[in-house]
Each structure stands twice: as structure tokens, then as C-alpha cells.
Structure 1
């Protein structure tokens, strides 16, 4: 009712009246935020504490969607309450991805989440940090071997594994790396074939377009002398050169260097056209 009648009862009035009922205040602000992320932006800092107290599951979605809440304040509250997942997210939102990754590895001890985070950030330095942290932890190494192949050269990890270290399911992980590598090769070969086929198709299309007729009438001008391309006296002889870029010249207006039939240049667009015949159209009478 309050949300549907903002013109009669303002947001500020509702929040003020519910000051002594914070759980209801949270419900109202939460519904308002779901309806419009910006209308209650002045209360986003207050909502951090309200979510932390009454609605923890929606705190992280709120932090992700809000562009107005103070991140430093949110980080402080989450650290005080030991909200690990939110505390991990906020440094990355604040641009400190290395700190966020370190927290995932040290606080959560979750290699899959660390790998997922590194994939999202797509930062080579984060992968390097993850490898350095995992190099003396066999379970982490297994997780990296199973997921690193499509993002980082697995040789960088394999060369750092200490001789004699026992790694769970090492054989299966190495087999998966080889399978992923073969799959990448097949994908690249497939993409190359598609590109070659598309290039040939576009080349044929361009050739057909260039071979089409070009309309030349009294409205066209010579790009060199700027006079009409066709003579006013139809009985006069004329010689017109039309490039595939659609620029037109009187034959006598072309520089001497451009009259060579094998290679001709359009002076306007600096395009080189190779002939004879297929490069430019020459009309004479």
C-alpha cells in the first residue's frame, strides 16, 4: 500500500514512522529496492545493517545490485559479523581482487570458488597467485589441474610440482588436460575452416558486386575537373573511367601514372585497382 501511494505518503515519512520497528522498516526498504534500485538510495547505508540483522540471504544480492551503498561501511559490518562470503565479494567490488582471492583461499579453503573467481576476473596475476598458494597443497593442485587448462598453460603449474609429492587422481587430471588440449585444437581447426569458407564467400560476393553495371548520367561529375562527366553535346566523343569505388574521371583528367592498364589508382580515396577490365570500367564513344 505504501509503495503504491508514494504521492500521498513519502518514502521518508514511512521510514521515519517505522524507526522503532526496524524489522518492518527493512521489509519496506527491501520491497522498495526490489521495485526500483534508486528510489531509496539515501537509505542504502542503513539497509546494510538491516539486511545483516534481519535478512542475511539477501545481503549479498543487495551489495551486488546497489550502486549507492558505501562499500567501506559494508565491508566493516561484514567483517564485524564474520560474514565471509560478503567479505570476500566486497574487496573485488572495490578493485582489490588479490585480497579477495587470498580470503577465498585462506578463509573458505575452497579451490573451486577460487578458480571460479579467477575465471571471472580473467587476470593472469590472479592465476599466478592461485598457483603459488596451491603448490604445496595437493587437493588444490588437483582442482587446478582439472580446471586450469583452458585459461592458463598447465605446464606453468606442472613444472612447479615438487618431485615425490603425492597428488590425488593425478593420472586422471593429466588425461583431462590432454583431452582439453585436443578439444581446443579441433575447435581452432573448425573455426579456421569456417573463416576460410566465409572469406571465400565474401570475396565472391565482392566480385559480383564490382562486376555490376554503374549508372553514369549528366548528374555525375569528374572528380578531377569537377565538370559534368558526360559532354553536353551528345555528338562529341568522350572517354570516362569509373573506379569500383564509384569515383569517375575523364580519361584526359587522370594523371599519366594512372593510365597504366595493369595498376590504376583512384586519386580521391587512394584506392589501388588492378586491371585490366576487372578493376575499372572505361566508356568511350
Structure 2
């Protein structure tokens, strides 16, 4: 992992910083919550985490760009192989606000359009997941307790555990019938949401995870972890990577079948 060893070490340092800020405010009675223009919640922890991570990156990687959910983008130094750190300070803010422990800080490093390092830190679950391009995916409380992770070998929808985001989002996307078709054809169905379904996929605990509408900071850290664990990660049109604004992640064996069903006009319409 020599090529990305320093970057991955920095990602863990950033995650340590994020955990130290977010954990003490989790379930705090005086947590301040406001509403962003898109009507989604943001807490003082979201903004404090992102500010702290940006400050560290400015010192440690001053030539790299940064994109964060709360404060937008700062440009990278010009040149080939432009690098950009992509941060979601708290993925699962609604869970964080309600005291549900399924939330995490997502940290990715992108070279051009490709995520090459990804780390997900979920301190309320006592777990992290991380990967670097070409060097496998791992999980544990920290690097000294790391375990390699791998997607499942399930190759039939009838045997698959299917994970998806809220049905309302799929209805808005005009693909509710396709999702309902998949729930009927799979062995087990759960809506874990946010980062968690993808991490369960990377560990082989579920076999499919799909979401219809996402931003780059929701996706960038997840892609290396899923793909380095042996999975496949595309958008709804089948394009690989985090750039398409949607996600279809599978163990690879089921990917074409899932894409076909999500793209089937008969199944995608609300009345078909």
C-alpha cells in the first residue's frame, strides 16, 4: 500500500479528529440543529467537524483540493492527476439528531474522477472501514485491529439480502415498482440507509444496496471500500464510480440483473 500509505494514514488522523468532535455532542441535550436551504438538517457537529478537517488538510496537503458537504469546494493546485479530498462530516445527520447510532464521517481522496482512498468512521458503532486502490478493504476499530473484508458469493436474487434507501425517494425517482419487484424476488429486505448498507455489503452481510439520488460526498468514500472488497459500484445507468448521482452496489454476481430490473420501463413506472 506504499503509494497511498501516507494518504490513508492521514485519513485515519482526520477520522480521529472527527470522532473526537462528534461523539461528545451525540445525544447532547443542547445540540444545536438548523435547517439548510434544501430543508435537510445540519448540526453544530457537522460544521465543526468539517472546519477541523479542512484546517488539518490545509496544513498537511495544501496543494490538494477539498470538497465538503457544508462548505463546498476549494480548488486544488493545477496539474495532472489533480487530487481532491471529499468529506461528509456526518453522514446520517437525521440519525445523529434523533440519537440513532448509525452515522459516520466519510473521507475520500480522489485523483481526477476516481476515488483512490476511502474511509468510513462510525464511532457510535465502534467501527471503521477503509480501502486504498489496489490494496484491499479492511474493517475494525482501528488499524491495529484490522480485518480484511470481502463481499458475498451469493449469485441468485432468490438468495440475496437486499438493502435500499427510503421508498419515498424511489417513488420520486419514478422507480418504485422496480424496487418493489426486487423486494419480492429477494430473500431478505432491509432499509438500513446512508453509508451502512454499503459497509454491510462490503463485509458480505448483504448482497445489494441501492439509492436513487446522492451527492459526491455521499458516495466517494464508499466506492473504494466496496470495489476493493470485490464488489461492483455503478450509477443507475451502469456507469462505474461516484459521479452519476445514484448508486447500485452489489457483490458483482447480481449486478447486471439488478441494473436490468431497475432500468426496465415496465417495472420502473408508478402504474406499470
* Structure-1-length-normalised TM-score: 0.22
* Structure-2-length-normalised TM-score: 0.22
Give 1 or 2: higher strand fraction. Answer: 2
Which entry has the higher C-alpha Rg, 1 or 2? 1
Give 1 or 2: higher helix fraction. Answer: 1
